[in-house]
Chains A and B, each alone.
Chain A
């Protein structure tokens, strides 16, 4: 990501951009005011991964005189600053954080604290209440069970049943609401989901137990109903958290790439405005390569718009005057003038919602598997329970109460408690483990698709290599020439010029350097013109055969000198490639670079299959070819040119140094200067798949044993409660093994 993009996107980046002027209005737009007249702003901080970072940020801000409080949340990477004074201070405070080397973007907390978080809290509260009730009812039930063996006084037993009822019924009424609501919604839509048998089992068990208690009978299932609810809520909450991780990752990437709008004023002048401040009717300017900041219609200009972020279409759409465009579309062609039609708030929010919905639609096949199971499971359970009731009533000649009791027992033991825990427990543990290692999953299905991979395709520049050239052979060049070249290079943002400046950091820039785009730099020295740039710029006609990146320096006297640069592979690239090959994965490299440059890297890293001079279309064609051959490909890439390939691969990974669009396209993003997260992600995904399968097997085995017992009518409350709790604990325990499984396995 270049400095220019970061500034254009309203973000303040660490490092080189830190010293530059912030666009204060962008930050001031997000400032809220407290009751005591203090101002506050919420910022997303990218790049903070440990307590040390939190401490540096908070300390730097707290030493500012007007800052009342600065607190960073490490889980959500959100920073809240309260200060006394003007809203305009926000830009300066954000710059303070940026100077420490972090990238910060403002965000609107009202948009972020949404129904998702509220639902999370509701589930947690329900879980706490159900847990409390389950523990206490179980305490009483154990006494009743042991009473069966030791002739408990019926009066005491009834008392215990009554107390259980008083605890369990209100708890069920409160904590069961998430399930009841979902079941009612499903029934209203004339369909059945997993929550229907769950709600039915809980309600019938409670009602039956109440009747038993009223009649002073033996069997009350309060304990089963409440523990069932508790374990189901645990599963629901874990699932919710796993989705929250994915969602936050997507949200953060989106906020980072959110761009301010360029508004054309009445006087025809351009000024930038936060996208949230755009109002309908404003004229907006969208340069080539920018994202459309707000919904609108094109007033002037023709271009191609890439809607892939919005619709998943990979082919850009032609657009001209009168075409309606959506916020988030990427302008791939010429400059456009738009008339905004929707308010900025709506579109920025809509942007997040669209991205998140897209992510949520690609639901995990694990969960989808559970849903498919539910489609068979729910009717089967209802049929089985009804069959049991009728069977006992008609064939067995039992009293209707006993027949109903057996039917309820069937409903309780078949309740997919362990099944509902099987997937979320594994996913939470796996994504937590990857998160700790710096890998953010963006798609809920990424884990499962990663587990199926048999081929890994790498991009070269920026993925296998560090993506920034370094000066080579500096010792063979006279220091005076290097200094001269560096003094010119300081004036340019060209990557090779920047590499030269990095290699010679203490050289003062020459003044009056002119840049000819695509050619090079010229500076009029006392003795004549000095040039730095391409071969042609310096008047060299011949071609060298080696592949090195080069800059030529033409001194004032007309003599020339060649400077070569090299893009070094990441430190562990060779080890990672070897490790992948040892594990039986095919490794390929697709590079847009020249043949010689690609060969040098492929040979160094031991990659036998590689292609050079690949256009973005060539790359995705190669992936299609591999997919047609039945290969499951993991694509690792970072550049704009990799985006189509990333989208087309079975699963894709991007380093966090990647272009915005690649990060948006990839299924997961990894941090750091090493490639090791690629191997780690594959291993964790494979372990997760193994554990999910084991968990499904465990819960089906549990059903295979208990269902016949329930149909036979021999499941007492004791057996139901013990079987259900133990199966749930076994499944969760199995998922937790993922944290202790060794890397090498």
Chain B
């Protein structure tokens, strides 16, 4: 029974961490462009996203 005193707060804490993470991602605009984000991962941006290359080319 005393295990409950540990497990219930632990469960709640984990849930709260998840909730906080969601609210944070919402606030930081990660749900603004779901279509674009899905495509961006496919971009092979070696040449213009790598800072070293960019500074060389400019």
Contact = CB atoms under 8 A, between A and B. Distances in A.
B43 A136 contact: no
B34 interface: yes
Contacts of B18: 132
B50 interface: no
Interface bin, chain A? 20 to 34
B15 A132 contact: yes
A73 B48 contact: no
A55 B43 contact: yes
Contacts of A74: 33, 35-36, 39
Given A75-B35, A124-B31, A132-B18, A51 B40 contact: yes
B12 interface: yes
Nearest to A132: B19
Given A121-B26, A125-B23, A125-B26, A136 B12 contact: yes
A157 to B, nearest CB: 12
Contacts of B33: 73-76
A128 B22 contact: yes
Nearest to A120: B31
A309 interface: no
Interface in B16-40: 16, 18-19, 22-23, 26, 31-36, 38-40
Interface string A51-71: 110110001001101000000
A691 to B, nearest CB: 23
A343 B15 CA distance: 51
Contacts of A124: 26, 31
Residues of B contacting A: mostly = helix
Interface residues of B, number: 27
Contact of A156 (B1, B35, B38): B1
Residues of A contacting B: mostly = helix
Contact of B48 (A63, A140, A167): A63
Nearest to A166: B12
A59 B49 CA distance: 10
B6 interface: no
A75 B29 CA distance: 13
A52 B35 CA distance: 12
Contacts of A135: 15
Contacts of B34: 75
A121 B27 CA distance: 9
Contacts of B15: 132, 135-136
A75 B33 CA distance: 5
A62 B23 CA distance: 31
A72 interface: yes
A139 B48 contact: no
Given A125-B23, A128-B23, A132-B18, A50 B39 contact: yes
Nearest to A167: B12
Contacts of B52: none
A516 to B, nearest CB: 51
Given A73-B32, A136-B11, A136-B15, A128 B26 contact: yes
A102 to B, nearest CB: 15
A168 to B, nearest CB: 12
Given A73-B32, A75-B34, A163-B8, A132 B16 contact: yes
A129 interface: yes
B58 interface: yes
21 contacts: A50-B39, A51-B36, A51-B42, A54-B39, A54-B40, A59-B48, A62-B48, A63-B48, A72-B36, A73-B33, A74-B35, A75-B34, A75-B36, A76-B33, A125-B26, A128-B23, A132-B16, A136-B11, A139-B11, A140-B8, A156-B4
Interface of B: 1, 4, 8, 11-12, 15-16, 18-19, 22-23, 26, 31-36, 38-40, 42-43, 45, 48, 57-58
